[in-house]
Amino acid sequence: MMRGALSDITKAVGHTPIVKLNKVTEGLDSEIYVKCEYLNPGGSHKDRVALNMIRDAEAAGLKPGGTIVEATSGNTGAALAMIAAIKGYKCVFVMPDKMSQEKISSLRAFGARVVVCPTAVEPDDPRSYYQVAKRLSEETPNCFYANQYHNPSNPGAHFLSTGPEIWEQCGHELDVFVAGMGTGGTISGSGKFLKQKKPDIRLVGVDPVGSLYYDYVKTQRITKPFSYKVEGIGEDFFPSTMNLSILDDIVRVDDKECFLTTRDLVRLEGLFVGGSGGAAVAGAIKYARQSGRKENILVLLPDSASKYISKIFNDDWMRENGFLEEEKGLGTVRDLL
Ligand code: PMP
> pLDDT (tens digit, 9 = 90+) per residue, 306-336?
989 999 999 999 999 999 976 454 556 666 6
Active site residue 197: no
- Nearest Cα neighbor of 31 from 203, 251, 178, 233 is 178
What is residue 329's predicted lDDT score, i.e. its pLDDT?
47
Q: Please identify, by atom number, the ligand 1 atom nearest to the C-alpha of residue 231.
A: 3
22 DSSP assignment: -
In this prediction the ipTM stands at 0.99
Number of the ligand 1 atom closest to the C-alpha atom of 277: 1
How many angstroms separate the CA atoms of 318 and 295, rounded?
33
Q: What residue's CA is closest to ligand 1, atom 1?
A: 232
CA distance 268 to 274: 15
Cα 269 to ligand 1 centroid, rounded to whole Å: 22
How many whole angstroms from 215 Cα to the centroid of ligand 1? Answer: 19
Q: For residue 275, which atom of ligand 1 is closest to its CA?
A: 3
Residue 181 alpha carbon, nearest atom of ligand 1:
16
Closest Cα to atom 8, ligand 1: which residue?
A: 232
Atom from ligand 1 closest to the CA of residue 185: 15
Kindly give the pairing relationship between strand 143-145 and strand 113-117.
unpaired
Which residue ranges have their beta carbon within 6 Å of ligand 1?
73, 75, 180-186, 231-233, 274, 276, 302-303
Chain segment 48-84, per-residue pLDDT in tens: 999 999 999 999 999 889 999 998 868 999 999 999 9
* Residue-level pLDDT at 334: 64
Per-residue pLDDT tens for 8-55?
A: 999 999 999 999 999 999 999 999 999 999 999 999 999 999 999 999
Average pLDDT for 91-118: 88
Q: Which of 276, 300, 306 to mutate to test the pocket of ligand 1 (most atoms within 8 A of CB)?
A: 276
Q: Is 173 exposed, middle or buried (0-12, 13-18, 19+ CB in 10 A)?
A: exposed
Mean pLDDT taken over the chain: 94
> Using one digit for the tens of pLDDT, what is the confidence trace for 220-274?
999 999 999 999 999 999 999 999 999 999 999 999 999 999 999 999 999 999 9
C-alpha 148 to ligand 1 mean position (Å): 11
CA of 274 to the centre of ligand 1 (A): 11
Indicate the top mutation candidate among 75, 235, 237 to test ligand 1's pocket, ranked by most ligand atoms within 8 A of CB: 75
Residue among 45, 153, 212 whose CB has most ligand 1 atoms within 8 A, to mutate: 45
For atom 12 of ligand 1, the residue with the nearest CA is: 182
Q: What are the two backbone dihedrals, phi and then psi, of residue 94, each rounded to the nearest 5 degrees?
A: -120, 125
Nearest partner of 116 among 92, 146, 147, 94, judged by Cα: 94
Paired strand residues for 180:
206
Residue 1's pLDDT is 94
* pLDDT at site 96: 83
Sign of the alpha-carbon dihedral angle for 94, 247, 336, 262 = negative
CA distances from 229 to 52, 157, 253, 257 (A): 29, 27, 12, 11
Local confidence band at 4 (pLDDT 50, 70, 90 cut-offs):
very high
Q: Which of 35, 46, 307, 311 is catalytic?
A: 46
Instruction: Indicate which residue's Cα is closest to atom 3 of ligand 1.
Output: 232
CA distance 109 to 96: 18
DSSP β-bridge partners for residue 300: 35
Q: Which residue CA neighbors atom 9 of ligand 1 most closely?
A: 232
Q: How far is the CA of 182 from the centre of ligand 1 (A)?
A: 5
pLDDT value at 151 more than 50: yes
Q: Distance between CA atoms of 322 and 113, rounded to whole angstroms?
A: 34
HSE-CB of 238 using CA atoms within 13 angstroms: 14
Total-model pTM: 0.94
What is the reported pLDDT for 331? 55
